[in-house]
Amino acid sequence: MASNLPAIPQFDANSAPSSLVTRWKEWHEQLDFYAEAAPIKDKKQKRALLLHLSGPTIQKVFRGLSDTGDDFDTAASKLDEYILRKKNVRYKRYHFKQAHQQQGKSIDQFVSRLRTLAKSCEFVNLNNALADQILASCSSTRLKEKILHKDGIERYSGLWMGNRVIKAEST
């Protein structure tokens, strides 16, 4: 292992349970980058690094899992399975529904923020969820009128992609 690389922090499984899944995904990505940069090629060594840096709470969970294998891929897959089941979709949707266009932020920035929040909400129809939230929370009366015009939301469902929102707002 390359000693000149700064170590990634140990995963904190005990803080903010509502964001456990998101934090795990981000931490796991950091671990993958670290292992690639180190470089750690041996699957058993990478597994040991995963378990060491995941911290005592995750290690305890891991000891209770079955069929964890002796390589990184199997161990990581089993931990992912366990942690991803902890996802609280209702909580994620609550945060999505609380999002409002902040003063000084463009529609495009607001939609980008909504898209980020929506990633973990498991909406059946993302365009409808985005349209509903934009209607409820954007500051542009003109855009709301355009969406609610006789053509309805369906006409504008494609607008939730980047700069096309700004063009719709200004026309």
Q: Would you say 117 and 150 are in contact if contact means Cβ atoms under 8 Å apart?
A: no
Neighbouring residues of 115: CB distance < 8 A, sequence distance ≥ 6: 130, 160
Backbone angles phi, psi at 31, to 5 degrees: -60, -45
Q: Would you say 121 and 149 are in contact if contact means Cβ atoms under 8 Å apart?
A: no
19 residue type, one letter: S
Structure tokens that stand for 123 in this block: 């909406």
pLDDT in tens, the chain (171 residues): 445 788 888 888 888 877 888 889 899 999 999 999 988 989 999 999 999 999 898 999 999 999 999 999 999 999 998 888 777 788 888 989 999 999 998 888 888 899 888 988 888 988 889 888 988 998 888 878 777 775 555 555 555 544 455 454 544
Closest alpha carbon to 85 in 65, 99, 60: 65
Q: Is 80 exposed, middle or buried (0-12, 13-18, 19+ CB in 10 A)?
A: middle
How many degrees, rounded to 5, is the angle at CA 117 between CA 25 and CA 164?
125
